[in-house]
């Protein structure tokens, strides 16, 4: 297992201010995307179309970051020919980079729903579920990035567990929105907007989960995607 201390020592050694810079750029992009999500939720709750437009326009910056990080990864592989844990770091970052960019896309989608509120009105649920699930997935994203920064497998496992809760809450929220729709079909447009927002948030939870799974791959060299984390003995994994 790659301990945080060994890792830091290695990083401070010969070859890699480059790896350190790559890692920092990825975490920086993570911070930007997290902010995009929080602003998107805030814009939707406060019906602030100016803030929503800000989130949508931030997406260009995030896309640029994604391309720059991929480029940096390719350059490091070509020039430095990393192996073992260094290579795992680069590959994990290529994967996380894709997830972060897609979280940015989903955050933009949530923000752009704010711009439709004037037209369709506010959902009768008053976004209770969006607020709740939104806060939860924003927390998951923060935890996943933090686990990546600190190479903390236990924290990564917690993120994966949270996703199961989000999936349940999402299903229950959708059912109650369908009920609202049946009761008052003049509100259909507004409720659909809330459903789209929830769908985006649920996807953001999945992406945060993917990031957490990359932490396990990075630290332990284990591919735990597609529910394989649940099959493993989590306690054992944690102590490896």
81: which DSSP letter?
-
Q: Site for a second copy (CB under 8 A): which residue of 2, 38, 45, 91?
A: 91
Specify the residue, 158 or 206, whose C-beta has the smaller distance to a second copy. 206
Shortest reach from residue 46's CB to a second copy, in Å: 26
Using the rule CB under 8 A, is 118 a contact of a second copy? Answer: no
The CA distance from 96 to 108, in Å, is 18
Of residues 226 and 235, the one with the C-beta less far from a second copy: 226
| Closest C-alpha among 164, 123, 122, 159 to residue 144 | 159
Q: Which residues of 54-71 are buried (b: 16+ CB within 10 A; e: fewer)?
A: ebbebbeebeebbeebee
Q: Under a CB-based contact definition with an 8 Å cutoff, are residues 204 and 137 in contact?
A: yes
Residue 84 found at the interface with a second copy (CB under 8 A) = yes
Contacts to a second copy from residues 17-46, by CB under 8 A? none
**Interface with a second copy, residue 119, by CB under 8 A:** no
Sign, CA torsion 164/169/171/172: positive
| Ranges within 144-163 binding a second copy (CB under 8 A) | none
Stretch that binds a second copy, among 6-14, 147-155, 179-187, 231-239 (CB under 8 A): 179-187
Of 145, 58, 53, 140, give the one whose Cα is nearest residue 97: 145
Residue of 223, 230, 239, 240 interacting with a second copy (CB under 8 A): 223
Smallest gap from Cβ 68 to a second copy, in A, equals 10
164 is a site residue for a second copy (CB under 8 A):
no
The token pair at 154 is 């236990």
Q: Which of 3, 8, 185, 239 binds a second copy (CB under 8 A)?
A: 185
DSSP state of 151: T
Helix/strand number for the chain, H first, E second: 10, 0
Residue 176: how many CA atoms within 13 Å on its side-chain side?
15
Interacting residues toward a second copy by CB under 8 A: 60, 63, 66-67, 70-71, 73-74, 77-78, 81, 83-84, 87-88, 91, 94-95, 98, 178, 181-182, 185, 188-189, 192, 195, 199, 223, 225-226
């Amino acid at each position: 297992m790659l301990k945080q201390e060994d890792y830091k020592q290695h990083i401070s050694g010969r070859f890699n201010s480059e790896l350190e810079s790559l890692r920092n750029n990825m975490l920086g992009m993570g911070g930007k995307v997290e902010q995009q999500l929080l602003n998107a939720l805030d814009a939707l709750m406060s019906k602030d179309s100016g803030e929503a437009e800000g989130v949508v326009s931030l997406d260009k910056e995030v896309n640029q970051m994604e391309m720059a990080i991929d480029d940096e990864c390719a350059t490091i592989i070509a020039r430095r020919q990393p192996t073992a844990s260094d290579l795992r770091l680069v590959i994990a970052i290529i994967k996380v980079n894709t997830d972060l960019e897609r979280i940015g896309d989903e955050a933009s989608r949530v923000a752009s729903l704010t711009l439709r509120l004037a037209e369709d009105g506010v959902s009768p649920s008053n976004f209770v579920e969006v607020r709740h699930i939104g806060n939860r997935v924003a927390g998951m994203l923060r935890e996943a990035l933090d686990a990546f920064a600190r190479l903390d497998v236990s924290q990564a496992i917690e993120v994966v567990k949270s996703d199961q809760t989000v999936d349940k809450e999402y299903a229950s929220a959708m059912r109650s929105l369908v009920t609202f729709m049946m009761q008052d079909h003049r509100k259909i447009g507004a409720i659909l907007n809330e459903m789209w927002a929830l769908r985006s948030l649920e996807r953001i939870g999945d992406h945060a989960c993917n990031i957490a799974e990359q932490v396990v791959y990075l630290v332990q060299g284990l591919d735990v995607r597609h529910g394989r984390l649940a099959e493993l003995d989590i306690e054992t994994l944690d102590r490896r």
